[in-house]
Amino acid sequence: MNNLCRMSRRLKDCAARLHFAAGLDRRRFSLRAGFTLLEIVIIVVVTSVLASLAAVSYFHVTSKAQDAEALNNLAAVRKAQLSEAAAKGAFVNATNTQEINERLTEVQIEDKDFTYKIVNVTADDFAAVAERVDEEKAQEKPIVIAMYADGHVGYTYASGSSSGGSSSYGGGGGSSGGGSSGGSSGGSLGGSSGSSGSSGSGSSGGSSSTGSSGDGSSGGSTGGGTVAAMGFTYPPVATGNDGFVTIGWAGIGIYPDSYDIYRSTSAAGEFELLYENWYGTTDYYTDLTVTNDTTYYYRIDAHYGEQATYSSEIFSATPSATSQYALQAAEALLELATSPTGATIAEIILLYDVKVGFGNCDNSVAAWYEPLFNTIRINLDEFSSTAEVQAAILAHEGTHAWWTNDINQGQPERGENLGDSIDQEYNAFLNGATVWGDIKGGQTDYNQDSWASVIAQGEADAKEVIRLYYPDLPEY
């Protein structure tokens, strides 16, 4: 982190003038959460419209953030329904976006990336639907997801080598395996929403066996079949940053029991064990025991009990203070310091020696803070983003690196999951939106702008949205 340390004097001078800027207190933030970029259609379902805050959860939230807009709009539809029922004693049905705008005067939404409809509304049940407009993007992701009061999930894919059976909203079925993700999931999604989850074969299944059909909720929760795939979807990727190497990969089918990570300074040399029994459910690692300008070669072994061990291909990276990733991280950190709020976070990042760099990530996140390694890893997909966008990302993740609950307000010292919380996520999104507003100039960025619009609704409404994305998080 030499580049970043060389900047500490400039950042500290900046922060001294703006020490602990408005909106940030002296709580030391900690623990991870990546901020979720979004690329699936979101369906908001509320059990009992009149009890407006019924608990909901999501089937999945993925990258690239278009669904923040869908979520905003669906939440607005729900609120408008409550107002309509309170004022007129009746609910509104609407089969398209235009009808929603006409019949719910509090709502004005556009058919931009999604079309909207209200598919069911009574005093006891409510379901609103967002359908993806972009057919090209819909090829790889579910285009409709619906969740119902009994916990069943319905979802459909745009296409696939094996159709999963179309699903009406609430009609059961559910396309469990159609589309590109069907094979790799091996039917694990099968039939969670209805009476007959269909098979889980799909174009990307590779060596995985086809998941057999599942019936009703048991099909989805148990996977609806056996998945025999083991190993790696693609070779792990190592990225050389300043003083550390990030590694990311993706497994196939089932999780292994554990991974062993090996390292060598020669592709043909003897590999030494770097980490034994790394978590089978964790598909990333950060190597902090490296020397800049030395090339390191890695291999990962995935262990499946007594069944088998699968070895990855050999892959390599060269950490360097002058690598493109180190220089870009330094530029983003400098940009962060130009914002009053950002200057405080930049100072904290330096003060606590939080390493900042890029790496291969699950594409459901733009970045995350890794507490085990005290590292902010920005997704390689964001490398081409502007320094301003990356600075806003650092504001969010730097908040996670800084966070500690306020025990003076009766909050537990740590969240129930030993880390993230709704309150923490709200503050992370708030700081990211504040920094983005300070430095974006005339730029637009779908993800940053969408979350800024969520924060602009106010704390109560923003937290309501965040709860939908993080249904399992405690409040503090």
Domain match, 330 and 309 both: no
Range of the domain at 300: 237-317
Considering the domain boundaries, does residue 465 fall inside one? yes
What contacts 24+ positions apart, CB below 8 Å, involve 418-421? 418/31, 419/30, 419/31, 419/32, 419/33, 419/371, 420/31, 420/32, 420/33, 420/470, 420/473, 421/473, 421/474, 421/475, 421/476
Between strands 375-379 and 355-359, the pairing is parallel
Which pLDDT score, from 0 to 100, does residue 393 have?
Answer: 98
Q: Are residues 252 and 382 in the same domain?
A: no
What are the backbone dihedrals phi and psi of residue 261, each rounded to the nearest 5 degrees, phi first? -110, 125
* Residue 185 in domain: no
Domain membership flag for residue 268:
yes
87 Cα distance to chain centroid: 38
**Structural contact between residues 77 and 99, judged by C-beta atoms closer than 8 angstroms:** no
Looking at the structure, tell me whether residues 282 and 304 fall in a common domain.
Answer: yes
Strands 308-311 and 355-359, sheet pairing: unpaired
Residue 27 domain-assigned (yes or no): no
Domain count, the chain: 3
Domain boundary among 317, 339, 366: 317
In a domain, 44, yes or no: no
**Cβ neighbours, 10 Å, residue 261:** 20
In a domain, 190, yes or no: no
| Same domain membership, residue 127 and residue 82 | yes
Q: What is the structure's pLDDT at 273?
A: 98
Q: Is residue 251 part of a domain?
A: yes
Report the C-alpha gap between 167 and 266 in whole angstroms.
53
Domain endpoint, select from 298, 317, 336: 317
The token pair at 294 is 């030395």
**Residues 347 and 457 reside in one and the same domain:** yes
Same domain, 368 and 464: yes
Per-residue pLDDT of the chain (476 residues; tens, 9 = 90+): 444 444 444 444 443 333 333 333 333 333 334 434 333 333 333 333 333 322 222 223 333 355 556 766 777 777 787 777 777 777 788 888 888 898 888 888 888 778 888 877 766 666 777 777 766 554 444 455 443 434 333 444 433 322 233 233 332 222 222 222 222 222 222 222 333 333 333 332 333 322 333 333 333 333 333 333 578 877 899 999 999 999 999 877 678 999 999 999 999 889 999 999 999 988 999 999 999 999 999 999 999 887 688 999 999 999 999 999 999 999 999 999 999 999 999 999 999 999 999 999 877 789 999 988 999 999 999 999 999 999 999 999 999 988 866 667 665 555 444 468 899 999 999 999 999 999 999 999 999 999 999 999 999 999 999 998 888 888 87
The answer to whether residues 435 and 358 belong to one domain is yes
Looking at the fold, whether 335 and 454 belong to one and the same domain comes out as yes
Q: Which residues pair with 258 in a beta bridge?
A: 279, 303
- Cα torsion for 337, 343, 348, 350, to the nearest 10°? 30
CATH of the domain at 312: 2.60.40.10
Q: How far apart are CA 238 and CA 442, in angstroms?
A: 34
Closest by Cα among 469, 467, 463 to 364: 469
Q: Phi/psi at 185 (nearest 5 deg)? A: -80, -20
Residues in Cβ contact with 6 at an 8 Å cutoff, skipping those fewer than 6 apart: none
* Dihedral class, residue 453 (left if φ above 0, else alpha if ψ from -120 to 50, else beta): alpha
User: DSSP class of residue 369?
Assistant: E
Residue 393 near residue 382, CB atoms below 8 Å = yes
Q: What are phi and psi of 133, to 5 degrees?
A: -90, -40
Q: 340-351 and 8-17 helices cross at what angle (nearest 10)?
A: 130
Residue 370 sits in the same domain as residue 458: yes
Tokens read off for 349: 């990042």
> C-alpha angle 262/267/271, rounded to 5°?
30
Maximal C-alpha separation, the chain: 77
The domain boundary residue, chosen from 290, 317, 344 = 317
Give Cβ neighbours of residue 16 (< 8 Å, ≥ 6 apart): none
- pLDDT value at residue 199: 32
Please indicate, yes or no, if residue 23 is contained in any of the structural domains.
no
d(CA 37, CA 144): 18
Q: Do 429 and 458 belong together in one domain?
A: yes
Clarify whether residues 266 and 243 are in a common domain.
yes
Give the CA distances from residue 129 to residues 8, 104, 160, 360, in Å, rounded to whole numbers and listed in that order: 49, 16, 22, 32
Alpha helices, DSSP H, located in 246-354: 324-336, 340-351
DSSP assigned state of 453: H
Q: What is the DSSP-derived secondary structure letter of residue 425?
A: H
Residues 389 and 463 grouped into a single domain: yes
What sign does the dihedral 199-202-204-205 (CA atoms) show? positive
